[in-house]
């Protein structure tokens, strides 16, 4: 993955700024292999549109975007397709403007309802089309075991890989009966907002991940 040197340095600085966790190992939540390639600029050019989504399953792997233990999210990464000029204009004109996205942390509840418990700053993505890029968070996000890392776009983002096996799937913050209404605004952009993730899309994958630092654990003392 090609990363901006400044971004990488910012991530390192964020990790060092956290007290007593320098020895902790950085983990990329959601970086499951093999990697997937976003659909754009293929025709049709599929994109994630006006919603918050998280990867539910990748092949035989479940919980790829679930936080394994308490810690902090310090950065997030995304692989972007490279739509053509006409494709960009179509999305911009019909989906509320230029491509933007932000990382979102969800706390799961009953009946596929998830509440936002943390969110990174929104990033403009057009300069990075056709590449993989990592964004350091202005403020790290504290997370607990079982929280879910999701991707939010109030407009659109070319980060959707399609035509994959049906055992790969993702969920969107859309309620029952609205799964085909992909231009309707359902993005969770407010703190503590609650939404039902009823809609499951099979054979597709969102190409994002998040950089996680676990909280330090005190060594066990011998008795």
List 152's β-bridge partners, or say none: 52, 102
Q: Is the peptide bond before 73 cis (omega within 30 degrees of 0)?
A: no
Percent of the chain with pLDDT over 70: 88
φ/ψ (deg, to 5) at 177: 90, 0
Which pLDDT score, from 0 to 100, does residue 148 have?
98
**How large is the average pLDDT for residues 1-30?**
55
Q: What pLDDT, on the 0 to 100 scale, is given for residue 67?
A: 98
What's the whole-number mean pLDDT along residues 187-195?
90
Q: How much is the pLDDT for 102?
A: 98
Taking the CA atoms of 61, 67, 69 and 73 in sequence, report the sign of the dihedral they define: positive
Read out DSSP for 128-144? GTTSEEEEEEEEEEEE-
Judge contact between 173 and 195, C-beta under 8 A.
Answer: yes
Which helix (H) or strand (E) segment holds residue 6: the answer is helix 5-17
Mean pLDDT computed over 8-24: 47
The residue whose two tokens read 């599929």 is: 46
Top-confidence residue, 88 or 216: 88
**pLDDT tens string 123-151:** 999 999 999 999 999 999 999 999 999 99
Q: What are phi and psi of 91, to 5 degrees?
A: -65, -45
**How far is residue 184's CA from residue 78's CA, in Å, rounded to a whole number?**
23
Q: Is 13 helix (H, G, I), strand (E, B) or coil?
A: helix
Grade residue 222 by pLDDT with cuts at 50, 70 and 90: low
Confidence of residue 23 (pLDDT cuts 50, 70, 90): low
pLDDT at 12: 43
Residue 201 has pLDDT above 80, yes or no: yes
Instruction: For residues 205-218, give the mean pLDDT.
Output: 94
pTM: 0.87
Q: What is the mean pLDDT of residues 66-70?
A: 97
166-177: per-residue pLDDT in tens?
Answer: 999 999 999 999
Query: How much is the pLDDT for 87?
Result: 97
Q: How many helices (H) and strands (E) does the chain have?
A: 2, 15
């Amino acid at each position: 993955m090609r990363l901006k040197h400044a971004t990488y340095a910012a991530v390192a600085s964020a990790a060092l700024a956290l007290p007593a966790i320098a020895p902790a190992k950085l983990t990329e939540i959601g970086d499951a292999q093999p990697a997937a390639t976003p659909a754009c600029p293929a025709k049709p050019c599929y994109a994630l549109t006006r919603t918050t989504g998280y990867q539910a399953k990748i092949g035989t792997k479940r919980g790829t975007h679930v936080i394994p233990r308490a810690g902090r999210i310090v950065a997030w990464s995304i692989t972007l397709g490279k739509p053509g000029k006409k494709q960009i204009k179509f999305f911009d004109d019909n989906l509320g403007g230029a491509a933007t996205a932000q990382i979102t942390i969800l706390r799961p509840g009953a009946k596929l309802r998830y509440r936002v418990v943390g969110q990174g700053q929104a990033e403009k993505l057009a300069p990075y089309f056709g590449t993989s890029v990592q964004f350091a968070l202005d403020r790290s996000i504290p997370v607990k075991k079982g929280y879910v890392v999701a991707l939010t776009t109030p407009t659109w983002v070319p980060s959707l890989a399609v035509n994959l096996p049906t055992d790969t799937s993702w969920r969107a913050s859309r309620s029952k009966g609205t799964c085909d209404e992909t231009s309707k605004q359902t993005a969770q952009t407010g703190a503590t907002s609650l939404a039902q993730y009823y809609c499951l899309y099979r054979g597709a994958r969102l190409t994002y991940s998040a950089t996680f630092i676990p909280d330090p654990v005190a060594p066990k003392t011998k008795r």
